[in-house]
A and B are shown apart, each in its own frame.
Chain A
Amino acid sequence: MAFFEGKQMTAGYGDGPDIISSCSISANRGEIVAILGPNGAGKSTAMKAMLGLLNLKSGSVTLDGEEISKISPQDRVKQGISFVPQTRNVFAELTVRENLEIGGFLREEGLDQMIENIYNLFPILSEKKSQIVGQLSGGQRQQVALGRALMSEPSVLMLDEPTAGVSPIVMDELFEHIIKVKKTNVAIIMVEQNAKQALSISDRGYVLVTGQNKFEGSGEELLNDPEVRRSFLGG
């Protein structure tokens, strides 16, 4: 039994058709799990279903053995799941420090200590702490977004295409940061377009096609699987 697990999830938007059907994804603490697949395969949908942003028609989501399928996203956040959306993932009008403070909004104590920890993890944020986030560069913003999500000391971190729209150099830097986060014993699930790079840092990966699990295995296995290579990694 994995730490955070979505089992046989079927879901869609409103009354529309099912986007994912019988899709299963799991992650353990200290593990990076990548969700890959072609456009429209339901990668983000699977993640949103696990966060509770859309209702499951069947299947279940469990966290540390506990069933959480029925509770609201806000309550899942309180249980230790953190989410970084693909767009609008920072408070652009607030300063870096205020972003982190909001990230730790639910913390009863140790806010300053936690902010120090984040500064240690992302040193650039310490330099820019009084700047308005809207004025930062794309890579720095993504770090703010990660930092904000980590402020609640989550046990699960979900990232929706963290490297979308950033340069290759920044991408490498971000991946390094994500590995650093993993070492703090967090379960990380991320949806990625840059499949090769994502798999190279992932412990495991899932390939979704039309909302169903097509392949799964360790990062290396998937990278070396000829069929996966042919269909998704471009040869």
Chain B
Amino acid sequence: MDFINAIVVLTNFTIIPALAYGSQLALGAIFVTLIYAVLRFANFATGDMMSFGTMFAVLLTYYFQSIGLGLGFLPTALLTIPFAIIMMILYMLLIDKFVFSYYRIKKSPPVQFAMVSVGVMFVTQAIIRIIIGPSDRRFLDGEKFILKATEFKEMTGLNEGLTLKSTQAITIVVTLIIVSIMFWFLNKTKTGTSMRAYSDNEDLALLSGIDPKRVVLITWVIAGVLATVGGILYGLDKSYRPFVYFNNMLPIFAAAIVGGIGNPFGAFLGGYVIAFAEILITYAYKRFIAYLVPESMEPDSLMQLLSTDYKFAVSFSILVIVLLIRPSGIFKGKTI
């Protein structure tokens, strides 16, 4: 019984949150890696682009709520996803047309692209803050929990409760759906294959009649979907705050590089690697161990490897270690 209790504690406080957080990071990391593979630059506007899409979801959620539109027990925000995605893609295409395409035609070095994306980051942040302001916003409605701790305890008769927030379940399910569709598209369709070919060998792709404009367009469309959905899921699970989204760029980069930049599947797994590392290393194992050892050996301290203050630092350290040992990433970076 104690053993089961211990497992429940661990699942409740580490595995479920890490799966949800990992899914959010994974979507962002695939976004980063896709831009890197096809458009060939590190996009420092990543966090803010995710924030931009989410902003529309937040505003539309408020609007739908005000006219009484909703999904019952599901969050209204899910209803806004298509609209937010469209706005996001339009914005990305606009930015691409007025900013990035110039450097693409000139075949500028990646560093210059990265610098340009810093400019885009500033502009995007300004637009977001001018439209919605910098404050913290919650836009989750509907049923909060799928499984409450007390219900679980009653059901099983265990000491420890297991909670499953609806946002966590939604995050994991939606991520799996989106990512499966994306991998199917990249690997099984003609357009997807042409994208991978373009990313692998641009000159030869052109000689084979692949239209680069189309590839770029489709890349932004997929990127728009990933960024918006990733941003909305994160916002539902935690809350929406522009500054936090900007900062999320850092673990997302870490996930993309750990997974091998340019490799979407690596980025997908990289998201979970970072999330699990952050949570497992900063989790206080006191309660977990207390169930497993005899009472006399119960630990006094929190049994925490690092304080939660260092959550981000953990993922960055992992990145630094990966860069040192295996710069191409755990899953070997390659073009998509």
Q: How far is the CA of A91 from the CA of B195 in the complex (A)?
A: 12
Asked if B209 is at the interface (CB within 8 A of a chain A CB), the reply is yes
Contact indicator A102/B206 (Cβ below 8 Å): no
Question: Interface 1/0s, chain A 90-118, versus B by CB < 8 A?
Answer: 11111000100111011000000000000
Of A83, A105, A106, chain B has the most CB atoms within 10 Å of the CB of A105
B137: which A residues are within 8 A, CB to CB?
A: none
> A94 and B208 in contact (CB under 8 A), knowing A101-B190, A102-B193?
no
Q: Which of A16-24, A73-81, A167-175 contacts B (4 or more CB under 8 A)?
A: A73-81
- The listed residue (A88, A93, A103) touching B208 by CB distance below 8 A is A103
A77: which B residues are within 8 A, CB to CB?
A: 207-209
A73: which B residues are within 8 A, CB to CB?
A: 206-207
B203: which A residues are within 8 A, CB to CB?
A: 85, 88
Within 8 A of A (CB), among B200-230: 200-201, 203-210
Contact indicator A92/B201 (Cβ below 8 Å): yes
Contact indicator B204/A91 (Cβ below 8 Å): yes
Contact indicator B204/A98 (Cβ below 8 Å): no
Asked if B194 is at the interface (CB within 8 A of a chain A CB), the reply is yes
> A101 and B207 in contact (CB under 8 A), knowing A93-B200, A93-B335?
no
Q: How far is the CA of A152 from the CA of B210 in the complex (A)?
A: 12
Asked if B241 is at the interface (CB within 8 A of a chain A CB), the reply is no
Return A29 CB to nearest CB of chain B, in Å: 21
B194: which A residues are within 8 A, CB to CB?
A: 102, 105
Q: How far is the CA of A90 from the CA of B201 in the complex (A)?
A: 8
Question: Interface 1/0s, chain B 178-207, versus A by CB < 8 A?
Answer: 000000000000100110110111011111
Give the total of B residues in contact with A, Cβ under 8 Å: 18
Contact indicator A93/B334 (Cβ below 8 Å): yes
> A152 and B209 in contact (CB under 8 A), knowing A91-B197, A94-B196?
yes
Q: How far is the CA of A127 from the CA of B190 in the complex (A)?
A: 22
A152: which B residues are within 8 A, CB to CB?
A: 208-209
When A and B form their complex, what is the total count of cross-chain residue pairs whose Cβ atoms lie within 8 Å? Answer: 60
A204: which B residues are within 8 A, CB to CB?
A: none
B190: which A residues are within 8 A, CB to CB?
A: 101, 105
- The listed residue (B197, B207, B209, B210) touching A94 by CB distance below 8 A is B197
- The listed residue (B193, B200, B209) touching A78 by CB distance below 8 A is B209
A132 and chain B: residue at smallest CB distance: B334
Question: Interface 1/0s, chain B 263-284, versus A by CB < 8 A?
Answer: 0000000000000000000000
Give the total of A residues in contact with B, Cβ under 8 Å: 22
Return B218 CB to nearest CB of chain A, in Å: 14
A89: which B residues are within 8 A, CB to CB?
A: 204
A101: which B residues are within 8 A, CB to CB?
A: 190, 193
B196: which A residues are within 8 A, CB to CB?
A: 91, 93-94, 98
Contact indicator A106/B200 (Cβ below 8 Å): no
Q: How far is the CA of A148 from the CA of B204 in the complex (A)?
A: 10
Of A73, A82, A98, chain B has the most CB atoms within 10 Å of the CB of A98
A92 and chain B: residue at smallest CB distance: B200
Of A82, A83, A102, chain B has the most CB atoms within 10 Å of the CB of A102
Q: How far is the CA of A165 from the CA of B75 in the complex (A)?
A: 62
Q: How far is the CA of A78 from the CA of B205 in the complex (A)?
A: 13
Question: Interface 1/0s, chain A 54-79, versus B by CB < 8 A?
Answer: 00000000000000000001100110
A97 and chain B: residue at smallest CB distance: B193
Q: How far is the CA of A102 from the CA of B205 in the complex (A)?
A: 8
Q: How far is the CA of A73 from the CA of B207 in the complex (A)?
A: 7
Contact indicator B209/A88 (Cβ below 8 Å): no
Q: How far is the CA of A150 from the CA of B334 in the complex (A)?
A: 27
Q: How far is the CA of A89 from the CA of B197 in the complex (A)?
A: 12
Contact indicator A98/B197 (Cβ below 8 Å): yes
Q: How far is the CA of A105 from the CA of B190 in the complex (A)?
A: 8
A83: which B residues are within 8 A, CB to CB?
A: 207
- The listed residue (B199, B204, B210, B335) touching A90 by CB distance below 8 A is B204
Contact indicator B210/A102 (Cβ below 8 Å): yes
A93 and chain B: residue at smallest CB distance: B200
B208: which A residues are within 8 A, CB to CB?
A: 77, 102-103, 105-106, 148, 152
B335: which A residues are within 8 A, CB to CB?
A: 93
Q: How far is the CA of A89 from the CA of B208 in the complex (A)?
A: 11
Q: How far is the CA of A98 from the CA of B205 in the complex (A)?
A: 12
Q: How far is the CA of A83 from the CA of B205 in the complex (A)?
A: 12
A88 and chain B: residue at smallest CB distance: B201
Return B194 CB to nearest CB of chain A, in Å: 6
Return A83 CB to nearest CB of chain B, in Å: 6
Return B192 CB to nearest CB of chain A, in Å: 10
Interface residues of B (CB under 8 A from A): 190, 193-194, 196-197, 199-201, 203-210, 334-335
Nearest 8 Cβ contacts at the A-B interface:
A106-B209, A93-B200, A102-B197, A91-B200, A91-B197, A105-B209, A102-B208, A105-B208
Q: List 9 A-B contacts (CB under 8 A).
A: A74-B207, A90-B201, A92-B200, A93-B200, A102-B197, A102-B205, A102-B208, A105-B190, A148-B208
